[in-house]
Amino acid sequence: MTSYATPPISPFLLTLDASNATLEPQGSTLVRRMSDLGGLFADVPAWERAVADGDPIVYTVVSSPVPEIPRELPQSVTTIHPGTIGGEFWMTKGHQHPDPQGEIYLGLGGCGGLLLFDGERTEWLEITPGVVGYIPPGWAHRSVNIGDEPYRFLAVYPGSAGHDYGWVLKHGMGLRARKSDSQVELVPFTPTELG
Ligand code: PAN
Ligand code: ZN
């Protein structure tokens, strides 16, 4: 038998209810409200009004019990609610993996965009139920709900990857996803937006 510094957890079955975004067994749940998304939307006054006007839940992340430690392969289901701030679709904070590691997203419900940025190049992938988006190592990633119903996806990523949110605040994500005549309009970040 292989010996590990941190023993892996035991094999188990995970039951995924895609329409309710529940996992059984279930680990922790993260709730991100509008007030947690400071500095991310271009229209700051519109973001401030949304925070003052009930500070809605923008997205939740329900995790399985697999820990975020080296060699494990954690999973989680993200649900982003529909909405816009100053015309920009509701979205996740977005992050870079400090330990450059790949990740997959499987669409479960609704319609979303996966925005990828490696510091120079941007990619935009649209994800619907049954579609897998691949995030290569070194690409920061953000998810966007581009529909009128909750957008849900399963994420599977290496436990050593980590989550660096400061990278996105500093470098942006290359593009913003805006609603325009019921379509998605991708507009570049302006240099003055970046610190
Ligand atoms: C996902 C994300 C999740 C929430 O599980 O962590 O969708 O997005 P933020 O972490 O950007 O708030 C993932 O990419 N994990 O690595
Ligand atoms: Zn990630």
Please choose from 34, 78, 114 the residue to mutate so as to test ligand 1's pocket, defined by most ligand atoms within 8 A of CB.
Answer: 78
pLDDT of residue 7: 79
Tens of pLDDT, residues 134-145: 999 999 999 999
Assigned domain for 130 exists: yes
Query: What DSSP designation does 7 have?
Result: P
Residue nearest to atom 8 of ligand 1 (CA): 92
Residues contacting 46, CB < 8 A, separation 6+ = 85, 86
Mean pLDDT (the chain, rounded): 95
Tens of pLDDT, residues 90-143: 999 999 999 999 999 999 999 999 999 999 999 999 999 999 999 999 999 999
Assigned domain for 11 exists: no
Assigned domain for 16 exists: no
| Distance from residue 74's CA to the centre of ligand 1 (Å) | 12
Tens of pLDDT, residues 19-59: 999 999 999 999 999 999 999 999 999 999 999 999 999 99
Closest among 69, 77, 60, 59 to 155, alpha carbons compared: 77
Assigned domain for 10 exists: no
Assigned domain for 86 exists: yes
Distances from the Cα of 187 to the Cα of 63, 66, 95, 115, angstroms: 32, 37, 19, 12
Q: How far apart are CA 34 and CA 52, in angstroms?
A: 10
Residue nearest to atom 4 of ligand 1 (CA): 92
Assigned domain for 13 exists: no
Looking up tokens 């302006």, which residue turns up?
190
Q: How far apart are CA 167 and CA 129, in angstroms?
A: 29
The CATH number assigned to the domain holding 53 equals 2.60.120.10
Torsion, CA 110, CA 38, CA 125, CA 95, rounded to 10: -120
Give the total number of structural domains in the chain: 1
Closest among 151, 191, 142, 171 to 37, alpha carbons compared: 142
Q: How far apart are CA 76 and CA 135, in angstroms?
A: 15
Please choose from 33, 92, 160 the residue to mutate so as to test ligand 1's pocket, defined by most ligand atoms within 8 A of CB.
Answer: 92
Assigned domain for 14 exists: no
Q: Which residues pair with 71 in a beta bridge?
A: none
Token readout for 49 is 């009004």
Global pTM reads 0.96
pLDDT of residue 1: 66
Domain coverage including residue 124: 21-194
**Which amino acid would we find at residue 97?**
H
Indicate if the pLDDT at residue 194 is higher than 80. Answer: no
Distance from the first to the final alpha carbon of the chain? 50
**Which amino acid would we find at residue 35?**
S
